[in-house]
Structures are given as structure tokens and as C-alpha cells.
Amino acid sequence: MDRCISCKLCAKACPVDCIYIESVGKGKPAIMTRFEIDYSKCLFCSLCVPPCPSECIVLGEKYSLPGHSRDDMVVKFHEGVFPVLVKSTHAKGMVKEFQDEGLFEKKKQVREQNGVPTRVEQDPRKNTGLS
């Protein structure tokens, strides 16, 4: 998410159209307003990986994708939502790098200045008080 330059090459390469990108501007200063991947459609074919010039889309074992509905399979990265993190050494290193550089907070402030909300809680029932 933070390395994405909004070129949309990954979305164009996807044979099942499961990557959704919307932004204000392009390049490094782009403000992401939507960056979602619908994993219920994804074939995990990796055709989205080679076109990415900033190497922000990779396939690996960093995340687990279990869910109870199709909606759980749409990951809204622009809202600060991520799939369940698998506790591997590589994943821990990437999370540490992300936190040490404060990238999430920096991007969150820019998004909020531009009127794009950042949702941290993935379970909407916890935000609304519903059970």
C-alpha cells in the first residue's frame, strides 16, 4: 500500500479483475482512495507481480485468508485493513520495518487531510455496537 504509485498495471494484468485501485494523482505523491483485492476472485496466478514497478505486490505466506463470508475476502488495504498475519520470521521483519519508519501513520495523516477515512477495526460489529 505505501509503496504503490497508482500505476494500475497490476489491475490491468489481472485476468479476473480482482484488484481495485483508485487514487488522487499518480506516482509517489498519489493519495490512495481505494486499494482492494477481492481474494474470493483471485486465482493466485501471480500475473499481477511482474508488472509492478515498485514491487509492492508479492505472493507469499505472509497472510492467512480464512473468512466466513465473501465480504471477508475483500481486503481494503486503503483503510488500514490487512488479512490475518502469519507469524513467520519474514513477516515479523516486514511489520517491524513498517512500524519503525512510521509509514502507516504518515500515510494515514495524508489520507485524513484529504478526506479519506482510515478504518483500523476490521469487524464492523465492534464499530457499531451490533452483535
Is residue 2 within 8 Å of residue 107, measured between CB atoms? Answer: yes
Beta strands in 4-69 (DSSP E): 19-24, 31-38, 63-64
Q: What is the pLDDT of residues 31-51, one digit of tens each?
A: 888 888 998 898 988 899 999
Query: What is the identity of the amino acid at 125?
Result: R
Check: CB of residue 6 under 8 Å from CB of residue 25. Answer: yes
Is 55 within the bounds of a domain?
Answer: yes
Residues 116 and 33 sit within 8 Å (Cβ to Cβ): yes
Number of domains in the chain: 1
**pTM of the predicted model, to two decimals?**
0.57
Q: What is the pLDDT of residues 74-121, one digit of tens each?
A: 877 776 666 555 666 766 776 677 777 777 777 778 777 877 666 554
What is the pLDDT, as a whole number, of residue 112?
A: 79
**Within a domain: 60:** yes
C-alpha to C-alpha distance for 85 and 127, rounded to whole angstroms: 21
What phi and psi, each to the nearest 5 degrees, are found at residue 23? -155, 165
**Within a domain: 129:** no
* β-strand pairing of 74-76 with 31-38: antiparallel
pLDDT at 26 over 80: no
CB 32 within 8 A of CB 78: yes
Q: What is the pLDDT of residue 84?
A: 58
Position 1 in a domain = no
Mean pLDDT of 9-19: 94
Residue 127, pLDDT score: 46
Is residue 32 within 8 Å of 4, Cβ to Cβ? Answer: yes
Q: What are the distances in angstroms from CA 16 to CA 11, 59, 79?
A: 9, 16, 23
pLDDT at 15: 95
The answer to whether residue 4 sits within a structural domain is no
Res 47: pLDDT: 93
99 or 3, greater pLDDT:
3
- The confidence score (pLDDT) of residue 75 equals 77
Whether 65 shows a pLDDT value over 50: the answer reads: yes
Give the per-residue pLDDT at 32. 82
Full domain range(s) for residue 20: 9-124
**Overall size of the chain counted in residues:** 131
Whether 3 maps to a domain, the answer reads no
